[in-house]
Amino acid sequence: MTDTFREDLLSGKVAFAAGASSGINLQVARRYAEAGAKLFMISRSDDKIQAAAQGLRDDGLEATGMACDVRDFGALMAAFSACRDKYGAIDIVLSGAAGNFLSPALGMSANAFKTVVDIDLLGTFNVFRASFEFLNAPGASLTAITAPQAVNAMPMQVHACAAKAGVNMVVKCLAMEWGPGGIRVNGVSPGPIGGTEGMERLAPNKEMAEASKGRIPLRDWGTKDDIADACLWLASDAANYVTGAIINVDGGVELGDAAMDLTKVEIRK
C-alpha cells in the first residue's frame, strides 16, 4: 500500500475514536487524521488522551481529546455532542476501548468478568448507540475492534472471548438495522499485534512470544499499521458496499493452530 492510497481518502470527514489514547486505536485514529479527517478522540484517562491528541497536533494533524469512559452512556452522549459542535456531523466512528488480563475462570470474580464485558461489549454498544443521532447519514461508517477470541475459544480468556463474541453480534445486528439508513457497521479483528499492551499481557516473555508466532500461518505478529490500513479502508468510500463484515487482519490466526513444521513433511514426488 502506498501513501498515495492514504492521502486525502478521508478529506472533509469527521472521525470519532473511542479508546484512542494508545496502541492499535491510537494508530487507527492517527491514520484517519493523516488521511484528512478531523479527529475527536476519547479515553478514560484525561492525561493520556490529552497527550495523545497533542502528539497528533504536533505532527500537524487536527485532533481534539476528551476524557470519557465508554461504560458511561451519558458521558458518551456529551462527548459526541462536543465533537459535533466542534467539527460537524460525524462520518466515522471507531469503537476500540478494551480491557483484558489473563485469568482462569476460577481465579475470576463475577465483577472481574463483568468489568471486561462492560468495557468491550457494553462499551461498543454504548459508543455506536450514542453516536446515532450525531451521524452524517447516509454515508457514515462505524468500525468496532474485535478479536479472533470472538470465535476461537481460549483458556484464561472466558471474559474477553465472551465479550468479543458479543461485539461481533453488535456489529452484525446494527448493520442490519441501520443499513437502510445508509450507515455501515463493520468489525476489524486484529491477531497478535506487536508493541501493544494487549500482547505484553498475553505473551509476557520471549518464549511465549516465539511460541505464539510459531502457531500463526504467517509466522509473525502484525503491526499497528496493518490494522490502521484496514480501518482506513472501511472508513472510506472505497468500502461503500461493505457492512456487517468482520475483517480478519490476523495473519490467519482465526483459521486455527498452524504449528506444524512444513519443512519436515516429506512430500511425495
Enumerate binding residues for ligand HXC (CB under 6 A): 98-101, 103, 107-109, 111-112, 115-116, 147, 149, 160, 164, 197-198, 201
Q: Which of 66, 158, 86, 63 is nearest to 120 (CA)?
A: 158
The CB-of-19 to ligand HXC minimum distance in angstroms stands at 9
The CB-of-257 to ligand HXC minimum distance in angstroms stands at 16
The CB-of-243 to ligand HXC minimum distance in angstroms stands at 23
Positive or negative: CA dihedral 47, 186, 145, 111? positive
Strands, E, within the chain: which ranges? 14-18, 38-43, 63-67, 92-95, 141-145, 184-190, 246-249
**Nearer to ligand HXC (CB atom), residue 24 or residue 56:** 24
CB of 248 within 8 A of CB of 186?
A: no
Positive or negative: CA dihedral 107, 111, 115, 121? positive
The CB-of-192 to ligand HXC minimum distance in angstroms stands at 9
Element (H or E) spanning 196, and its range?
none
The CB-of-163 to ligand HXC minimum distance in angstroms stands at 7
**Nearer to ligand HXC (CB atom), residue 100 or residue 124:** 100
State the residue number with the nearest CB to ligand HXC: 99
**Nearer to ligand HXC (CB atom), residue 87 or residue 148:** 148
**Nearer to ligand HXC (CB atom), residue 20 or residue 147:** 147
**Nearer to ligand HXC (CB atom), residue 157 or residue 236:** 157
CA distances from 227 to 164, 187, 247 (A): 17, 11, 10
CA-CA distance, 39 to 56, in Å (whole number)? 10
